[in-house]
Amino acid sequence: MVTPVSLGAWPTPLERAPRLAAALGLRELWIKRDDLVGLGGGGNKVRKLQYTCAEALEAGAHTLITTGAPQSNHARLTAAAAARLGLRCVLVLAGHEPPEWRGNLVLDSLAGAEVVWAGDESPTELAELEAKRHEGGHVIPFGGTTPSAVQAYVDCARELTAQEADFDRVVVAVGSGGTMAGLVCELGPERVYGIDVGAVADPHAAVAALLPTPPATLLIDQGQVGRGYAAFTEPVRDALKLAARTEGIFLDPTYTGRAMAGLIASCAANGLSRAGRVVFLHTGGLPGLFGHPDL
């Protein structure tokens, strides 16, 4: 296991959300603010990048290369981490270049990243080609999820229990699986409730593959995917408004918006409302809001 580099401000705050809790029928709701880590607009990818960047530096990297969707939070934060560490950055993004750059794309550019559009090709394969094209090129996988990066959310779980040990369940968005896997490693599968965002075909398999001993059951709600990862849904729109209008907290339409929509749906069905004290892990993504003018 590598020694992580320092890229954020720790611990991130843990805040009560009483008005949102009342709206959901929860006894207590807390929000773990991993959107406030300090680097590049914040988000859960910073914790992971502390490990993946350490691996890159240990391998002698000069250029960080990664993949993602056009509004990828991971891509934005990889660009920011590269700038912080004095490295070059290449982002291989899915699809074709949009007519106007918005949201995370603007920040990618500000941080000095080179953006390569995959078009109809595989971003993963193009990233490997870019690694060969650049001296000291090092590929960080989609979502920043590697076996060592799982430790980042073991760290977070320990940080959380040091702040408030007495909670019943953590609610978190599930993309590439590393964030939930780290939480499950430390807290156990029964205390972590994941909301699938549609980033991978089988989120249960993605999370289980990262665990040293996969549990018999993982709690993952797949009811918020809608028409797919990049699609915007009405439950997410409602969740964004509810969080903003009760607590002044802004979520993004892909990850935290879906996670909040899943929390709302579970409470409406008398699921998590029975859990007592719930922690919502805010994994960031605010800049992505500005990439969705249809909001």
Catalytic residues: 72
Measured in whole angstroms, the distance separating CA 2 from the mean position of its chain's CA atoms is 21
DSSP helix/strand/coil, 183: helix
Contact 90/64 with Cβ under 8 angstroms? Answer: yes
Rg over CA atoms, the chain: 18
| Helix (H) / strand (E) containing 281 | strand 277-282
Sheet of 14-16: strands edge to edge? 14-16, 28-33, 277-282, 169-174, 192-196, 219-221
Q: What does each C-alpha distance from 167 to 4, 16, 55, 217, 236 come to in angstroms?
A: 28, 12, 33, 20, 25
Contact 246/19 with Cβ under 8 angstroms? Answer: yes
Report DSSP letters for 189-257, one per residue: GGGEEEEE-SSSS-HHHHHHTTSSS--S--EEE-TT-TT-TT---HHHHHHHHHHHHHH-----TTTHH
21-27-32 Cα angle (round to 5):
55
Total H helices, total E strands in the chain: 11, 10
Sheet of 88-93: strands edge to edge? 114-117, 88-93, 63-68, 137-140
Number of C-beta neighbours around residue 70 at 10 A:
23
Q: How is residue 275 written in tokens? A: 């859990």
